[in-house]
Structure 1
């Protein structure tokens, strides 16, 4: 499976990502062709090899004629018909701009981000990522910069409000220098394309692209790095592994049987998360936690039991408390209680629900009554030390 890692530790912009993609081997013709399909006015892309803080890098120039058009999201959406990924990026921009300006996405006028070069950056970058055929994209914590910048709305703090809105919930930091390091276009692209956030994962790197921004400041290289390669099979390392896939075409009545099959195949846990996919389609993310010995069997069960045609995999670090089982009695019925210890002290005591249900059925009592009594007996173990 092809995996991409984006190093945004010096920030990110649309043209930097374009340069990284071309530097990693995406033909310029692929990018230019995608831009030509949607651009309402002539746009020419050209490549320049440059240096940033002594590093060789690729800069992609977007050459456009002067244009007085300030397009709304409705205008841009019409241009991007048939380009779902690029449209998702611009929609994310529209929602963020609407939030910071107190309007609706339909009425947002793309000033700095809405010019032809931004359309070219977004459409071209999406075409480049699609050309690489990545099944997963990890993005490092994003450097956003600090200080202030001048915009069409006057002096703004860094990160600008739209960037701050786009990067909600994303790991960020100020980074080097007192200037804007991450643009709205860059933030929208990263948050749309990323399937995970963090340092470079275990992978075999085949190609590296270094994309340059227009400035060459002292003290740091104004670049985005893109690593392209094969994700390492975490199961060979013996650690826990998270398997995930997004599914929008499975009869929901089947899900209980799917989860049961994954647990039967050896998953230590399996669960569903409701999500909303492109074109507003409701869907679920299926997740399974496995160890090295059961990974292959659980993969096979996912492909056999569901309609997915691909999986994402992430190695995990897991911290588990020491556990033991004790027994309490309710009306002569035995109920197991699971104790969890931290540094030898019991911090959690939970009755096994299946045992509670069985005891309630035998005693002819409501399940809630038996559960309440079992929970009260279990609490006596809290704080117990060896």
Structure 2
């Protein structure tokens, strides 16, 4: 069983609406504020209040600016801010992937590189607070997987910095590729930030899956439409982890003219942008040239953003992409205590029985400050055995 969150965006979704829904469902506001402060210290304050939308109770989350003249920020600047903020790895990685998708969409709309996309003034702080806040709230709630129903985008026209534009706005249209959408009503019902969060965090678009429901939450939009509740809802519950096959793509490029010292950065950026895995294979190309084949495994809906990362970070003149089928093992996590801190143990299991248990290496490396990594790894493995996390033993209760 995994803790699953389903997003009901049938009335639309914005970053603050999804944040309000998660806080309404039990995410701790202090934990969310702390994550936002780590990225934009003393710049914004999150406030929540109970409101009604078309007669339904919901939580309204507001981002209050505490600076008078916030600067414009590019995606490359925001990426550095999030990377250097010391966030929990899941919060950091989800926030980076969401902003990468948002910047890529805005870049295609305006015909500029994603790294050059500007998030203007207050909008930059709003987006950072919404994206980081949502990712921190998911982490605080212990959510392990996410899916979403059809998204209502709206209709008509709206005002933007460059004048009147059609709804859905171009960035939302770009982000919606491959997702089930509806008009849902008049006006702009879904914002680019809201859509970027949905397509990045949700594994698939689906109707409400089978769950043992634990809790639910509703986040309010700013406007109160008569006869139509302007809310984004979330439902959280236990879901049986499927052992079914999953669609995937592999994107590849042969590169023979990149300084090998750059490869670790390329792979890190791909993983931050949502790749499931990325690796290099030494090859010999034409004219006997030594080279590397870069391979990236990902969900199909993340392929476009990952292709952009590859073309931006390597000198390749072309890419190839093929469809694959994944059969991922059912996974769970358990934490053990070692000298100096804690290490997460990644567990593969089937029918309630452990098939493999491995210490999370990033946790091991972070604790190996004054002693060898091997010593910490050995201690973590011993702690896992002492906790009964060995193949053939029952999966411990979460």
Q: 1:173 aligns with which of 162, 179, 182?
A: 182
For residue 106 of structure 1, report the CA deviation from its aligned partner.
1.4
- Contact 1:35/1:123, CA 8 A, preserved across alignment: yes
- Matched with 2:326 is 286
Contact 2:22/2:134 (<8 A) preserved: yes
Structure 1's 33 and 305: CA in aligned 2 closer, same or farther, altered over 3 A?
A: closer
SS in 2 for 1:209: strand
Q: 1:306-321, aligned counterparts within 5 Å?
A: none
> Is this contact kept in 1: 2:71–2:121, CA < 8 A?
no
Tell me which of 201, 222, 238 is aligned to 2:209: 201
1:357 maps to which residue?
none
Q: What residue number does 2:338 align with?
A: none
Looking at CA atoms only, which structure, 1 or 2, has the larger radius of gyration?
Answer: 1
Partner in structure 2 of residue 109 of structure 1: 118
3-state SS of 2:73 partner: coil
Name the CA distance, whole Å, in 1 between partners of 2:276 and 2:169.
35
Hey, what's the Cα distance between the residues in 1 that align with 2:130 and 2:154?
A: 21
Cα gap change, 1:288 to 1:10, in 2 (>3 Å): same
Any gaps of 5 or more consecutive residues in structure 2? 87-91, 249-274, 282-295, 311-320, 330-347, 361-398
Q: Which residue of 2 aligns with 1:14?
A: 15
Please say if 1:3 is aligned against 2:12: no
- Cα distance per residue 1:231-280 (max 9 Å; x no partner): 1477xxxxxx625599649999xxxxxxxxxxxxxxxxxxxx93289997
**Unmatched tracts of structure 1, length 5 or more:** 235-240, 253-272, 290-296, 310-386
The one of 157, 173, 178 aligned to 1:164: 173
Whether the 8 Å contact between 1:204 and 1:231 is mirrored in structure 2 is: yes
Q: Aligned to 2:99, what secondary structure does the other structure show?
A: helix
The within-5 A match list for 1:208-219 is: 208-219=216-227
Q: Is the 8 A contact 1:30 1:128 kept in 2?
A: yes
**Residue 111 of structure 1 contacts residue 152 of structure 1 at CA under 8 Å; is this kept in 2?**
no
Alignment partner, residue 79 of structure 1 = 81
Residue from 130, 149, 154 that aligns with 1:121: 130
Secondary structure of the residue aligned to 2:61 is strand
Query: Retained in 1: the 8 A contact 2:63–2:129?
Result: yes
CA distance, structure 2, for counterparts of residue 243 and residue 299 of structure 1: 15
Structure 1 residues 49 and 275, CA, compared in 2 at 3 Å: closer, same or farther? same
Distance in 2 between the 1:46 and 1:33 partners?
A: 13
Corresponding position of 2:49 = 48
Q: In structure 2, the residue corresponding to 1:201 is in which secondary structure?
A: coil
State the alpha-carbon separation in 1 of the partners of residues 245 and 359 from structure 2. Answer: 12
2:28 aligns to what?
A: 27
Q: Secondary structure at the match of 2:200?
A: helix
Is the deviation greater in 129-138 or in 159-168?
Answer: 129-138
Aligned length: 276
Alpha-carbon distance in structure 2 between the residues aligned to 1:170 and 1:53: 27
From 101, 122, 127, give the equivalent of 1:92. Answer: 101
Change (3 A) 1:48 1:201: same
Verify the 8 A CA contact 2:157 2:164 in the aligned structure 1: yes
Distance 1:89 1:99, change over 3 A: same
TM-score of the superposed pair, with normalisation by structure 2: 0.62
CA distance in 1, matches of 2:28, 2:298: 34
Equivalent residue for 2:228? 220
Contact 1:113 1:185 in 2 (8 A): no
The 2-side partners of 1:131 and 1:301 are apart by 25
In structure 2, distance between residues paired with 1:187 and 1:209: 18
Report if aligned partners of 2:46, 2:63 keep a CA contact under 8 Å in 1.
Answer: yes
Q: 1: distance between equivalents of 2:325 and 2:68?
A: 45
**Is the contact made by 2:277 and 2:297 (CA closer than 8 Å) also made in structure 1?**
no
Q: Using a 3 Å threshold, how does the CA distance of structure 1 residues 249 and 26 change in structure 2: closer, same or farther? A: same
CA drift at 1:114: 4.0
Q: Secondary structure at the match of 2:72?
A: coil
Name the residue aligned to 2:386.
none
Provide the secondary structure at the position in 2 that maps to 1:197: coil
